[in-house]
Amino acid sequence: MSWHLYILSFIFGIAGVFHLIRPKAFMRIMPLYIPYHKLLVYLSGIAEIFLSVGLLFTQTRTISAASIIIMLILFFPVHIHMLVHKKAGLNLPKFVLGARLLLQFGLIYWTYLYL
């Protein structure tokens, strides 16, 4: 197993943990048209943790990678919402928010390598 798979797993695992310990931060960036903010933040955090572990095992790597890609695609509206709405953007510069959105494509590609 390559070291970059461990890094990818670590990134999603840490992101999942932060969803659980800092849910308000994630709820603030969600568009209002998405219901059940708190529930979705917790569920996505739990999913990220499980999927990050699943990347580490040959038997679950493909389904975990595919699921992570689906989640990253589903998160696009949140990143666009942050870019368009100043309050949701957490006072971050537009170029940082734009780079964060582009990072999603990089993460999708990186995860795709493990399908």
| Structure tokens, 74 | 């589903």
Q: How confident is the model at residue 88 (pLDDT cuts 50, 70, 90)?
A: confident
Domain that holds residue 22: 3-112
Please state the pTM of the whole predicted model. 0.92
Q: Phi/psi class of residue 78: alpha, beta or left (left: φ > 0; alpha: ψ in -120 to 50)?
A: alpha
Tens digit of pLDDT for each residue in 14-33? 999 999 999 999 999 999 99
| Structure tokens, 29 | 């960036």
The number of folded domains in the chain is 1
Q: Please, are residues 79 and 104 in contact by the beta-carbon 8 Å criterion?
A: yes
Residue pointed to by tokens 């006072």 = 91
**Measured distance CA(51)–CA(13) in Å, rounded:** 8
